[in-house]
Amino acid sequence: MLKTRNGHNSYAAAKSGDAEAAKTLVEGLLSAEAVYRLGHFLAGRQPILLAVTADETAGFNAIPDAMAQALAAHLGLTVAAGTITQANKVGHTRANGWHRLVTPAVFTGAAVAGADYLLCDDHVGFGGTLANLRGFIEAQGGCVIGTTTLTETPGARQIAIRPETLAMLQDKHGRELDQFWRAEIGHSLACLIDIEAG
């Protein structure tokens, strides 16, 4: 799917802010089966669809919003437009793991306390942006019930750290790494996403 996305005529323009190109890209890549499976997962729940809103190296990424709009039309959901946005430019597209670790996505805006959210992004590479957005929403009393992306890097579907990955880090580095991580990064190793921990 990544090869198809990268080779799509609309991809570069969509990634740089062209809303029509993003709509064309999403229409070409979003499968009816994926929409059906997402509807089945929701099982009648009506979460707010929240697209990752990010200004990237090439410009504003219009793909997440186009995907959220398409899903809203298919599933009868509401899209939160501009209420929560990414506050920093991280340059994660095709970036390595170390760059992603030291440049986490930071968000601004207001979540609706007590509301369910479904997060939508164009691609999950490591999962850090989605994990940070979830934390931002849930710190304000919202509840993220799921995430969905148009494409994924192999292995990125598992965002939360696996117990065996955490155990491997603890066995190899002891408590010192967790103490260092809390002091320097501000959270425990248990808050890492699985690919980061690996």
CA atoms of 151 and 132, how far apart (whole Å):
19
pLDDT at 57: 66
Angle at 131 between CA 55 and CA 41, to 5 degrees: 105
Q: What is the pLDDT of residue 129?
A: 86
Question: What domains, with CATH codes, occur in the chain?
Answer: 2-157 (3.40.50.2020), 160-198 (no CATH)
Average pLDDT in the 13-22 region?
90
pLDDT at 138 over 90: yes
Rounded Cα–Cα distance for residues 79 and 72 (Å): 7
Mean pLDDT of the chain: 87
- Would you place residue 53 in the very low, low, confident or very high pLDDT band (cuts 50, 70, 90)? confident
Burial of 178 (0-12, 13-18, 19+ CB in 10 A): middle
Q: What is the pLDDT of residue 15?
A: 86
The residue-averaged pLDDT of 180-187 equals 82
Structure confidence at residue 113 (pLDDT): 96
